[in-house]
Amino acid sequence: MANTFPVRLRSPKGTTTIHVNPNRTIGDLQLLISSATQILPSLQDIKIGYPPTQAMLVPSLPLASLNLKRGDQIIVSTLSAEHSVLSSATKHITASPRDVDGGLPTLGAGGEGASSMERERLAVQDHSGDGLVDHVAVDGQFLVLREVPDDNSCLFSSIALIFEQDMRAAPKLRSVVASAIKGDPDTFSDVFLGRPRDEYITTILKATSWGGAIELSILSDHYQTEISSFDVETGRCDRFGQGKYQNRCFLMYSGIHYDAVSMSPTVSAPADFHQTVFPVEAEGIFAAAGRLAVKRREKGAFTNTTTFDLCCQTCGVRIKGEKDARAHAKETGHAEFGEY
């Protein structure tokens, strides 16, 4: 098959050969693996090579970022329930963005939501009764959603809130990303970025440009902290820096918007009393973040990006959904989009 090469796939169902296309994304590979193994993308634990190395599964990243080669071996198993909030409740695959890189919606995996049994297991223990912000109780405190402005800098504002305690530090974080890309042309090649490096750097420095998987990976390394981003619509958690660091923080992703998450002694406590970084061993807090994602999903606090309206920030054209945005970007080279 043109533009593809074979790799060996080992799973609980046995060993087989699949043909992968290096020009596609990790999300496409996960769908191919799902077809061969019946393990949903949101439940896949993937290791590559020998000795097997854990793969960072960010569906929007290009397949080239995994350094997968002809004849390599892929080992796939099913994630445990503690690492997948929806577990077996995820029923089907839909077109739903997982991340947004430099303004381009990207394809990921989605699901229908939790079954009644799963909802009962993840029921929110909310004893505050004040209804001020979305929150869940954990260890006598509250894990709360920290909303940031919907201004195309939400990813950077959320990370600035977590690590700098000041959303105004967002431009500084754009510079951190730009410097990392500029200083490592081998890792951040044109192929990896999906466009010329200089163009990507110029774009990400603009306040109107969205950030996504690439930016979160860089910022995870910059702060030496795992960044766990929960997708509200599907319950999936993308973990940047997984296994590398002793601490983690949390984001909530609605499909087009990121918000921060922090721990507070009361729901309405001042920001100075909030904790934003936690030990990775604190699995109870990780589970609480998953419950917070469920609570947001039950309120419908997410955007179905197959049908939402976008506006090209470069030429002003109105665009319907992810598919049209991809086509417009390919045709024009424009890569900055905002919600219409």
Catalytic residues: 151, 154, 257, 334
| Nearest CA among 53, 88, 86, 58 for reference residue 68 | 53
Tokens for 234, please give them: 């599907």
Q: How many CB atoms lie under 10 A from the CB of residue 93?
A: 19
Whole-angstrom Cα distance, residue 162 to residue 146? 10
52-to-49, 74, 207 alpha-carbon distances in Å: 5, 8, 40
CA 138 to chain centre: 24
Burial grade of 224 (CB within 10 A; 0-12, 13-18, 19 or more) = exposed
Cβ distance 42 to 33 under 8 Å? no
| Single-letter code of the amino acid located at 336 | E
| Nearest CA among 174, 171, 159 for reference residue 261 | 159
Which one-letter DSSP state was computed for residue 292?
H
| Nearest CA among 14, 8, 46 for reference residue 27 | 46
Whole-angstrom Cα distance, residue 335 to residue 199? 10
Tokens for 50, please give them: 């020998």
Q: 129: which residues sit within 8 A by CB, 6+ positions away?
A: none
**What's the length of the chain?**
340
Whole-angstrom Cα distance, residue 1 to residue 20? 10
Q: 282: which residues sit within 8 A by CB, 6+ positions away?
A: none
Whole-angstrom Cα distance, residue 124 to residue 260? 19
